[in-house]
C-alpha cells in the first residue's frame, strides 16, 4: 500500500513538473516581432509619405498576431510620445488582429492626408523614442524602419550627439533620397549613410539600407 | 637537436654524413632483423587473432539473432495460423448453428410431409369397382332359352335396358372416382415440392460445410507445417512479413498525407482558440494544439478498433468482458464523433478567417476587393473533409498493427544482415592485418638489402671455402 502511495506521489510530481516545463516553454513575447516606423515629415521629404503609406500597409499585411507596430513622425523634436501616430500590439486572435490592422490603416491614412512639413529634422530623438518603445514591447525581433533622407537638422539647443544603445535592434533605412547637394558631391550622401551605420553598429544594432521599395519581401528578415 | 645538426654530426659534408647515417641504420636494422621480424609477425598475429575472435563473436551473435528471429517468426506465424483455424471453426460453428439447428424441425416436417403424401397416395390408389350383386342373377336369367315368348323377350329387353343404365352409372361413378383421385394427387404436388426444397436446402448446407471443412483441413495443414518449424515455413513467413511491412508502410504514408491535410484544415482556426502568438519550443502553440487533436483522434480510433476486436495491439481491451467492451466502443465513438464535429466547425472557421485575411490584404494593397462568388461548395467541402477525416484516420489502426508486427521481423532481418556485414569486415581486416605483416617484413628486408646481400655473399663464400681449399690441396 505504501508503495502504491509512493508511486502515485511520484506520478503527481512528474505531472506537475511537465506542466511547469510546458508553461516555461510557452513563450509569447520572445518570438514576437516589434516594428517602429519613423517617417520624416520635414521639408520636401513630406512628399514621399505616400510611399511610406504603402510600406506600412505591407507591414500590416505581414505582421502576425502578437506582433507590435508603431508609426511615428520625425519632426523638430521627435523624442516625444506625441509624435507617435499610431501603435498597436496585435491580438493573438487573428480575427481581432485583422480588425486592429484595419483601424491602424485608417489612422495612418488620415495622418498622411493631412501631414504638414516640419521645420527641423530630429532623427536621433525619433530613434531614442523607437528604442524605448521596442524595449517596452518585449518583442524578440526588434526593427526600426526609418523613412528619411537621413539629413539631421536639429533645432538650436537640442542635444543629440551621444551614443544610443541599439542592442538587438535592426535598423533599416528606407528610401534614402539624394539631396541636391548630394548630386554635386556624392561623398556627402555616402558620409551620411556611413555615419548612421557607424552610430547604429557601435550601439550594438544592425544596419541595412533598402532604396528599392519593390524589394520589401525581406524587410523583416534578420 | 635539429635534423640539420643530426645530418652533420659525423662530418661537415651532409651527403657523407647522410651516407654514414644510412649505413649505420642499415647495420642496426640488420642486427635487429630477427627480433624485428618476430615483433612485426607477432603483433600482426595479435591484431589478426583479435579481429578473428571479434568476427567469431559477432557471427555467434548473428546466429543467436537468426534463431531468435526464426522463433519469433514461427511463433507469430503459429499464432496467426491458430487464429485463422479458430476463425474458420467459429464460422463453421455459426453456419451449423444457423443452418443445421433447424434440422430436427426440418426432419419432422419432412416426415410429416412424407406421411401426408403416403396417406394421400393411399387415398388416391385405384380401387376396382365392385361388380353389382345382381349380375349373377342376370346371367342366370340370360341363360333362359328364348322361346318366342313375349313375356320373356320383354323381360330380357328390360334387363338390357337396366344393364345399360347400370353400365353408364358405373362408368360415371368410375370417372368421378378417378377425378377425385386426380384431385388428391394434384394436392400432393406442393408437398413434394416443399419436401424437395427442404432437402435441397439441407444439401446446400452440407455442401457448404464440406467446403469449409476442406478449408479448415488446409489451414490445419499450414498450422502443422509451421508447428514443425520447417525452413520453407520460415521463408514463407519472412516473405509474408516483408510484404506486410511494405504494404502497411505505404498505407501509413497515405494516412500521414491525410493527417497533414487534416492538420492544415485546423491549424489556422486553432490560433483563434489558443492564440496565434504563443510558442512551445520552436513550434506555434496553435500548431501543437491541432496536432494534439489529430493524435487524440488517432488514439481514439485505435481504441475503437481494439474494442471492436479488429486489431489486437492492447490485450487489456481485447480481453475485457463484452459489457465493458461495448461501453468502451460507445465512449470512443462518442469522443470521435465530438472531435469530428469540432473539426468540421474549425474547417468552417478556417474558411471565414481566410476570407477575412484575403479581404484585409486586398484592402491594404489598395486593390478592389474580389467579388465573392458566394459559392458554398468550398466551405461545405472543407466541413465534410473535417468531419470525415477523423473517422478515416480510425482505420490507420489496421496498417499500424501490421506495421508493428512486421517491423519486428524486418528489424530482425536488418540487424542480422548488419551483424553479418560487421563479421565480414572484421574477417577482412584480420586478413589484411595478417598480410600486412608479410608486407612489412618484406619492406624491412628491402630496406636492409645491401646488408642481406653482403650476408648472403659471405655465407656462400664460407660454405664453398673448405671445398675449394680441399680441391686445391688435392690438385
pLDDT(A1) > 60: no
Q: How far apart are the first and last CA of chain B?
A: 62
- Residue B408 covered by a domain: no
- How many domains is chain B partitioned into structurally? 2
Is a pLDDT exceeding 60 seen at residue A16?
no
What residue has cell string 358405373?
B170
| Domain A33-210 CATH superfamily | von Willebrand factor, type A domain (3.40.50.410)
Are B358 and B373 within one domain? Answer: yes
Is residue B271 one of the residues assigned to a domain? yes
Minimal C-alpha gap between B366 and chain A (Å): 9
- In what helix (H) or strand (E) does residue A69 lie, and over which residues does it extend? strand A68-74
C-alpha cell at B269: 482556426
End-of-domain residue from the set B197, B228, B259: B228
> Would you state the pLDDT for residue A47?
75
* Nearest Cβ partner for A98 among B281, B357, B366: B357
Q: Domain check: are B207 and B262 in the same one? A: no
In a domain, B66, yes or no: no
**pLDDT value for A9:** 58
Q: What digits encode the pLDDT tens for the residues A145-161?
A: 999 888 888 878 888 88
The model's confidence at residue A12, banded by pLDDT at 50, 70 and 90, is: low
ipTM of the complex: 0.72
Burial class (CB in 10 A: 0-12, 13-18, 19+), A156: exposed
Q: Do both B253 and B150 map to the same domain?
A: no
Query: What is the per-residue pLDDT for B473?
Result: 45
Contact call for residues B45 and B434 (beta carbons, < 8 A): yes
Determine the pLDDT at residue A24: 47
B20, part of any domain: no
Confidence of residue A142 (pLDDT cuts 50, 70, 90): very high
Nearest CB to A94; choose among B272, B278, B364: B272
Distance CA B301, CA B295 (A): 10
Asked if B111 contacts B103 with a C-beta cutoff of 8 angstroms, the reply is no
| Chain A contact present for B369, CB below 8 A | no
DSSP state of A181: H
Residue A203 DSSP one-character state: T
Boundary residue ending a domain (B395, B426, B457): B395
Could you tell me if B209 and B247 lie in one domain?
A: no
Per-residue pLDDT of chain B (475 residues; tens, 9 = 90+): 677 777 677 677 778 888 888 888 888 999 999 999 999 999 999 999 999 999 999 999 999 998 888 888 888 888 888 888 888 888 888 878 877 777 778 788 888 888 888 887 777 666 666 666 666 777 777 676 666 677 777 877 887 788 788 888 888 888 888 888 888 778 777 888 888 888 888 888 888 888 888 888 888 888 888 888 788 888 888 888 889 999 999 999 999 999 999 999 898 899 888 887 788 888 888 899 999 999 999 999 999 999 998 888 888 888 888 899 999 999 999 999 999 999 999 999 988 888 888 888 888 876 555 556 667 888 898 899 999 999 999 999 999 999 998 898 899 999 999 999 999 999 999 999 999 999 999 999 998 888 888 888 888 888 776 555 544 444 3
- Minimal Cβ distance to B277: which of A54, A58, A66: A66
Please tell me the distance from the alpha carbon of residue A188 to that of residue B119, in angstroms, as a whole number: 132
Cβ count within 10 A of residue B413: 18
A11-46: burial string, b at 16+ Cβ within 10 Å, e else: eeeeeeeeeeeeeeeebeeebbbbbbbbbbbbbebb
Same domain, B110 and B217: yes
pLDDT at B146: 63
Query: In terms of domains, do B245 and B373 share one?
Result: yes
Q: Are B89 and B220 in contact (CB under 8 A)?
A: no
Kindly state the helix (H) or strand (E) to which residue A34 belongs, with its residue range: strand A33-40
Q: Rounded to 10 degrees, what is the CA torsion of B269, B271, B274, B279? A: 150
Q: Which of B395, B415, B436 is the last residue of a domain?
A: B395
Residue of B nearest to A21 (CA): B280
Of B280, B353, B356, the CB nearest to A25: B280
Residue A105, min C-alpha distance to chain B (Å): 8
What average pLDDT does the structure give for chain A?
82
Q: Is B365 on the interface with A (CB under 8 A)?
A: yes
Torsion of CA B179, B184, B186, B190, to 10 degrees: 170
Q: What is the residue range of B255's domain?
A: 231-395
Claim to verify: residue B224 and residue B238 sit in the same structural domain: no
Distances (CA, A) of A173 to A38, A58, A72, A210, B249: 10, 16, 15, 6, 53
Q: What is the nearest CA distance from B261 to chain A, expressed in angstroms?
A: 21
Give me the mean pLDDT over the A108-136 stretch: 88
**For chain A, what percent of residues have pLDDT higher than 70?**
86
Same domain? For B186 and B313 the reply is no
Tell me, yes or no, whether B211 and B245 share the same domain.
Answer: no
Chain B positions touching A105 (Cβ under 8 A) are 363-364
- Reply yes or no on whether the pLDDT at A15 is more than 60: no
pLDDT at A21 over 90: no
**Same domain for B286 and B360:** yes
Q: Answer yes or no: do B215 and B238 share one domain.
A: no
Q: Helix, strand, or coil here: A165?
A: coil
Task: Please provide residue B186's backbone torsions phi and psi, each rounded to the nearest 5 degrees.
Answer: -60, -40
Whether B163 is covered by a domain: the verdict is yes
Residues of B in contact with A102 (CB under 8 A): 360, 363
Q: Where are the beta strands (DSSP E) in A92-222?
A: 141-147, 169-174, 206-210
Do the Cβ atoms of B272 and A95 come within 8 Å?
Answer: yes
Instruction: Note whether B148 and B274 are same-domain residues.
Output: no
* pLDDT given for residue B320 in this prediction: 87
Residue with cell 345399360: B164
Amino acid at each position: 500500500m505504501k508503495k502504491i502511495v509512493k508511486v502515485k506521489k511520484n506520478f503527481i510530481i512528474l505531472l506537475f513538473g511537465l506542466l511547469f516545463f510546458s508553461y516555461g516553454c510557452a513563450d509569447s513575447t520572445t518570438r514576437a516581432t516589434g516594428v517602429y516606423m519613423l517617417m520624416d515629415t520635414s521639408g520636401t521629404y513630406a512628399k514621399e509619405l505616400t510611399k511610406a503609406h504603402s510600406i506600412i500597409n505591407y507591414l500590416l499585411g505581414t505582421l502576425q498576431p502578437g506582433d507590435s507596430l508603431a508609426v511615428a513622425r520625425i519632426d523638430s523634436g521627435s523624442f516625444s510620445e506625441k509624435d507617435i501616430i499610431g501603435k498597436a500590439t496585435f491580438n493573438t486572435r487573428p480575427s481581432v488582429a485583422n480588425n486592429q490592422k484595419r483601424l491602424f490603416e485608417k489612422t495612418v491614412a488620415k495622418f498622411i492626408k493631412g501631414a504638414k512639413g516640419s521645420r527641423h529634422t530630429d532623427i536621433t530623438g525619433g530613434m531614442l523614442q523607437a528604442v524605448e518603445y521596442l524595449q517596452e514591447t518585449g518583442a524578440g525581433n526588434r526593427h526600426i524602419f526609418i523613412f528619411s533622407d537621413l539629413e539631421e537638422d536639429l533645432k538650436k539647443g537640442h542635444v543629440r550627439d551621444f551614443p544610443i544603445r541599439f542592442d538587438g535592434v535592426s535598423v533599416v533605412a528606407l528610401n534614402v533620397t539624394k539631396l541636391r547637394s548630394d548630386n554635386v558631391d556624392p561623398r556627402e550622401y555616402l558620409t551620411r549613410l556611413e555615419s548612421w551605420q557607424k552610430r547604429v553598429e557601435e550601439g550594438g544594432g544592425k544596419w541595412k539600407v533598402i532604396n528599392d521599395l519593390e524589394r520589401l519581401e525581406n524587410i523583416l528578415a534578420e | 637537436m635539429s635534423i640539420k645538426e643530426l645530418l652533420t654530426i659525423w662530418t661537415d659534408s651532409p651527403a657523407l654524413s647522410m651516407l654514414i647515417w644510412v649505413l649505420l641504420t642499415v647495420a642496426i636494422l640488420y642486427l635487429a632483423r630477427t627480433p624485428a621480424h618476430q615483433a612485426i609477425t607477432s603483433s600482426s598475429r595479435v591484431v589478426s587473432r583479435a579481429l578473428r575472435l571479434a568476427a567469431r563473436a559477432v557471427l555467434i551473435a548473428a546466429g543467436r539473432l537468426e534463431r531468435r528471429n526464426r522463433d519469433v517468426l514461427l511463433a507469430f506465424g503459429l499464432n496467426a495460423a491458430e487464429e485463422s483455424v479458430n476463425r474458420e471453426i467459429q464460422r463453421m460453428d455459426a453456419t451449423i448453428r444457423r443452418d443445421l439447428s433447424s434440422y430436427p424441425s426440418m426432419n419432422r416436417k419432412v416426415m410429416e410431409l412424407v406421411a401426408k403424401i403416403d396417406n394421400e397416395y393411399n387415398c388416391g390408389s385405384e380401387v376396382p369397382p365392385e361388380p353389382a350383386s345382381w349380375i349373377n342373377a342376370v346371367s342366370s336369367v340370360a341363360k333362359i332359352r328364348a322361346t318366342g315368348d313375349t313375356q320373356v323377350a320383354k323381360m330380357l329387353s328390360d334387363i338390357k335396358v337396366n344393364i345399360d343404365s347400370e353400365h353408364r352409372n358405373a362408368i360415371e361413378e368410375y370417372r368421378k372416382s378417378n377425378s377425385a383421385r386426380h384431385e388428391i394427387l394434384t394436392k400432393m404436388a406442393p408437398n413434394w415440392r416443399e419436401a424437395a426444397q427442404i432437402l435441397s436446402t439441407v444439401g446446400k448446407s452440407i455442401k457448404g460445410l464440406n467446403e469449409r471443412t476442406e478449408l479448415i483441413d488446409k489451414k490445419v495443414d499450414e498450422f502443422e507445417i509451421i508447428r514443425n518449424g520447417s525452413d520453407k515455413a520460415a521463408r514463407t513467413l519472412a516473405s509474408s512479413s516483408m510484404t506486410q511491412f511494405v504494404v502497411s508502410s505505404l498505407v501509413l504514408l497515405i494516412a500521414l498525407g491525410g493527417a497533414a491535410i487534416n492538420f492544415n484544415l485546423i491549424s489556422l482556426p486553432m490560433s483563434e482558440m489558443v492564440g496565434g502568438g504563443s510558442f512551445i519550443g520552436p513550434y506555434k502553440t496553435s500548431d501543437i494544439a491541432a496536432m494534439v487533436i489529430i493524435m487524440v483522434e488517432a488514439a481514439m480510433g485505435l481504441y475503437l478498433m481494439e474494442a471492436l476486436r479488429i486489431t489486437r495491439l492492447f490485450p487489456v481491451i481485447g480481453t475485457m468482458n463484452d459489457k465493458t467492451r461495448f461501453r468502451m466502443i460507445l465512449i470512443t465513438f462518442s469522443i470521435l464523433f465530438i472531435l469530428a464535429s469540432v473539426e468540421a466547425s474549425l474547417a468552417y472557421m478556417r474558411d471565414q478567417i481566410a476570407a477575412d485575411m484575403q479581404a484585409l490584404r486586398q484592402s491594404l494593397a489598395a486593390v478592389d476587393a474580389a467579388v465573392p462568388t458566394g459559392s458554398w461548395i468550398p466551405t461545405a467541402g472543407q466541413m465534410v473533409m473535417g468531419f470525415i477525416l477523423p473517422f478515416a484516420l480510425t482505420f490507420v489502426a489496421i496498417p499500424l498493427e501490421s506495421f508493428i508486427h512486421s517491423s519486428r521481423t524486418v528489424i530482425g532481418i536488418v540487424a542480422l544482415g548488419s551483424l553479418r556485414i560487421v563479421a565480414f569486415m572484421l574477417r577482412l581486416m584480420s586478413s589484411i592485418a595478417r598480410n600486412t605483416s608479410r608486407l612489412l617484413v618484406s619492406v624491412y628486408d628491402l630496406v636492409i638489402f645491401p646488408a642481406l646481400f653482403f650476408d648472403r655473399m659471405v655465407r656462400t663464400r664460407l660454405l664453398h671455402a673448405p671445398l675449394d681449399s680441399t680441391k686445391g690441396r688435392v690438385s
